[in-house]
Amino acid sequence: MNKTDRQLAIMLELQRSKILRAEDMAALFETSVRTIYRDIQALSEMGIPILGAPGQGYSLMEGYFLPPIGFSAEEAVTLLMGTDFIEQRLDGDYGNIAKAARHKIEAILPEAVRGESMRVRETMRLLQASESVTGLREKDYLGQARRAILERRKLRISYQKNMPETDGNRKSMREVAPYGLSLVEGYWILIGHCDLRQDIRHFRLSRMTELVVLDKHFAMPHGFNLSHYRPPDDRNERVLVRANPEMADKISETANFYTEAVEERTDGVWFHFRVRTPEELLHLILSWGGDVEVLEPESLRCRIREEAEKIFKRY
């Protein structure tokens, strides 16, 4: 930490903690007590109203706040919960930055607003759609991929596909030019140009078993903007499922991405799904149990029957 950053941090700590000893600040900023004394003197010469009490420590004059920014309790909660999210979902570098940002935000809040924002935060909690936090391995891959994107360096990844290839193998090794990262339904997705497929592909970080940053560089396509990028919709297969009415809400929640239309009929609720391959819905349909029936296609009906027979044999 350089001198300027340390002196700003000292002001923020004094504003947050009200009173601090030089020894405590030296331990916090990993420097000597003499350096803290020099920093306090420099801040005082700049007009910062720092008060010293023998045997107690240093404090800022009451009513002095830096920087002169006012947040309501709701605004403070918005910022602080944002740092919570970053710490949960991004890699270690940004996790540490989020902690530092949260510390600074809390430090500049007047005591009344800080107390109110703490009460509001205690009534809310961030929960992710699929898991509580991004896993450690996924965070590591996220950090490496993020840096590779900025440095325009290719990645070599070992990838576990959700559906097997034509040869039955689920694992594949790819070289990818990484264009960006996107958080989709609780999962980090790497978007990049796959050398094997010669096209833009999406790779879920949680399915990677290895990620290596290569020395090979690449050029970003002219005009590519991740914020404007929309992947082509190649879900060309249709699946028709009939469900008992009491299952309709659960199916709508768990298969919303695939749902094209829903019909309420006398014999149940009919769901029209659009997928890349019918087997994408296999595990979902099995989780819905006997309250649903696949009507089309026949190939998926047979696949469900095979799985049901395997389950029956086990029990």
Run of H or E residues at 230: none
In the numeric block, which tokens belong to residue 116?
Answer: 């109110």
In contact, 121 and 77? CB cutoff 8 Å: yes
For position 165, what pLDDT does the model report? 58
Q: How far apart are CA 200 and CA 232, in angstroms?
A: 10
- pTM, two decimals, is 0.56
The SS3 call for residue 162 is coil
The SS3 call for residue 134 is coil
For position 132, what pLDDT does the model report? 45
Q: How far apart are CA 88 and CA 139, in angstroms?
A: 9
What ranges in the chain are assigned the alpha helix state H? 3-17, 22-28, 33-45, 73-89, 92-108, 111-121, 136-151, 248-254, 282-288, 298-314
For position 120, what pLDDT does the model report? 76
For position 191, what pLDDT does the model report? 93
Q: ω before 68 within 30° of 0 (cis)?
A: no
Q: Which residues of 243-269 are buried (b: 16+ CB within 10 A; e: fewer)?
A: bbeebbeebeeebeebeeeeeeeeebb
Q: What is the pLDDT of residues 125-157, one digit of tens each?
A: 665 544 445 678 888 898 999 999 999 999 999
Which sign, positive or negative, has the C-alpha torsion 34, 37, 43, 46?
Answer: negative
User: Which residues have a Cβ under 8 Å from the Cβ of 293 and sit 6 or more positions away?
Assistant: 241, 242, 243
In contact, 73 and 115? CB cutoff 8 Å: no
For position 63, what pLDDT does the model report? 67
Q: At what angle do helices 92-108 and 136-151 cross, to 10 degrees?
A: 90
Q: Please report, as a single letter, which amino acid is at residue 12.
A: L
Q: Please report, as a single letter, which amino acid is at residue 312.
A: F
The torsion of the CA quartet 159, 160, 164, 165, rounded to 10 degrees, works out to 10
Q: How far apart are CA 291 and CA 246, in angstroms?
A: 9
Q: Please report, as a single letter, which amino acid is at residue 41.
A: Q
For position 104, what pLDDT does the model report? 81
Residue 2 phi/psi, 5° resolution?
Answer: -80, 175
Q: At what angle do helices 33-45 and 3-17 cross, to 10 degrees?
A: 80
- The percent of the chain in helix, strand and coil, each rounded to the nearest 5, is 45, 25, 30
- DSSP 8-state secondary structure symbol assigned to residue 269: E
The SS3 call for residue 253 is helix
- Give whole-number Cα distances, 10 to 28, 40, 67, 95, 212, in Å: 10, 8, 13, 22, 40
For position 306, what pLDDT does the model report? 92
The SS3 call for residue 194 is strand
User: pLDDT of the chain along its 315 residues, tens only?
Assistant: 788 888 888 888 887 777 889 999 999 889 999 999 999 999 888 888 888 888 889 988 876 655 555 677 788 888 888 888 888 788 878 888 888 888 888 877 777 887 888 887 777 766 554 444 567 888 889 899 999 999 999 999 998 876 655 555 678 899 999 999 988 777 889 999 999 999 999 999 989 999 999 999 999 998 888 888 887 777 889 999 999 999 999 998 888 888 999 999 999 999 999 998 898 899 999 999 989 999 999 999 999 999 999 989 988
- pLDDT averaged over every residue in the chain: 85
For position 315, what pLDDT does the model report? 85
